[in-house]
Amino acid sequence: MERADLIVIGAGMTGLAAAKIALEGAPERRIVILEKSAGVGGRLATRRSPPAIFDHGAQTYPVMASGIWHEFWKRSGRIDEWTDPEGVRVGSSRAGMTDLAKHLSQDLEIRKNTKVVRLARSTDSWNVISETGEQWESTRVLITAPVPQSLELLKSSRISHASGLSQLVYDPALVLLLGLESSPSGSSPFIPPKHPPILSVTDQEQKKVSGTAAWTVVFDPEFSTRYFESDEIQVKTLALREIRTQFPDLNIRDAQLKKWRYSRPQQIWPESAHSIEGNQGLVLAGDAFGGNGIDGALRSAKAAIALLFLS
């Protein structure tokens, strides 16, 4: 069994930032990140669909609230800044939002395609067990999956938790990725939708992510909840009808559907990271703790490392 000073479950923004923070000033620490997907980033996701490229999770991050991380990403030379429809200064990577995660993950020890299914307590440490039966041992474990998935893991490990955590609910999001014959003229990546159920439209060509005309269209929680489990062809038909009503001149070449079961938390837990009572060294973190969005994930990462190494 491999030993580490910290095992992080999840290579999204929270998990990657937490590992970076834990290594600051203590490069001798061994930190292992276990990620169930084939790539890093979680809800920072970029899809290459030649000739178009789409960010289909987070589109931007707030510059001010991301502080030192913004400075770190800027050094890659791939960051563009915008003013979003709320007047907030935001940043994005022209290599796609997953590039932010990839940039963070350099020099980190990450095991991809590794889904954690159970935690077991030995005398003074945790055994972290993957679905293929691999095991890691550490006195500290940080779980950064969306809360319902984290609670499933606790349940299969027979670990009890504060009952309020079960009430943390996430909105789902249905997202349509549109390859276009040509982009409507404009200079901002943010196209205001005319009305619900379209929540946001981002022009990936204006955002400098895609070399050809491409839009990412996010549907609101009401529409996304109602049709989340529906047949994909039916959802696409309904979604395309909405888009054509609001943007009748759009010349759509192809459309792909992306579904996020856990898009954004509806409520935020009162602590930026949460220690599981009676289970020393076991901490939950993520945007449901630090606050909505990438800056919330970064805030939670910092709080989690303080709980794990300073308390």
Ligand X SMILES: Cc1cc2nc3c(=O)[nH]c(=O)nc-3n(C[C@H](O)[C@H](O)[C@H](O)COP(=O)(O)OP(=O)(O)OC[C@H]3O[C@@H](n4cnc5c(N)ncnc54)[C@H](O)[C@@H]3O)c2cc1C
Least distance between ligand X and beta carbon 161 (Å): 16
If one asks whether residue 151 binds ligand X (CB under 6 A), the answer comes out as no
- Output 5 or 171, the one with its CB closest to ligand X: 171
Residue 146 found at the interface with ligand X (CB under 6 A): yes
CA dihedral 288, 291, 292, 295 (to 10 degrees): -120
Nearest-angstrom CA–CA distance, 40 and 91: 19
Pick out residues in 58-117 that bind ligand X (CB under 6 A). 58-61, 115-116
- Among the listed ranges 52-60, 160-168, 181-189, 267-275, the one in contact with ligand X (CB under 6 A) is 52-60
Q: Does 15 bind ligand X (CB under 6 A)?
A: yes
Quote the CA–CA distance of 115 and 30 in Å, as a whole number: 20
Looking at the Cβ atoms of 28 and 152, the one nearer to ligand X is: 152
Residue 297 contacts ligand X per CB under 6 A: yes
Whether the CB-CB separation of 33 and 72 falls below 8 Å is answered with no
Tell me which residue has tokens 């395309």: 240
Binding-site member from 151, 154, 165, 175 for ligand X (CB under 6 A)? 175
| Interacting positions 247-266 with ligand X (CB under 6 A) | 260, 263-264
Nearest 5°: phi and psi at 90? -130, 160
Considering only the stretches 120-128, 155-163, 187-195, 290-298, report the one whose residues sit in contact with ligand X under the rule CB under 6 A.
290-298
Give the β-pairing of 274-275 and 282-284.
Answer: antiparallel
- Closest contact distance (angstroms) between CB of 226 and ligand X is 17
Distant-in-sequence, close-in-space partners of 53: CB < 8 Å, separation ≥ 6: 46, 47, 96, 204, 209, 210, 211, 214
Q: Which stretch binds ligand X (CB under 6 A): 74-82, 234-242, 267-275, 288-296?
A: 288-296
Q: What residues have CB less than 8 Å from 231, skipping those under 6 apart?
A: none
DSSP bridge pairs for 80: 92
Q: How far is CA 253 from CA 51, 181, 185, 193, 256, in A?
A: 11, 6, 17, 20, 11
Note whether 217 binds ligand X by CB under 6 A.
no
- For residues 8 and 105, the answer to whether their CB atoms sit within 8 Å is no
Which parts of 26-45 interact with ligand X (CB under 6 A)? 34-37, 42-44
Residue ranges in contact with ligand X by CB under 6 A:
9-15, 34-37, 42-44, 57-61, 115-116, 144-146, 149, 153, 173, 175, 218, 260, 263-264, 286-287, 293-294, 296-297
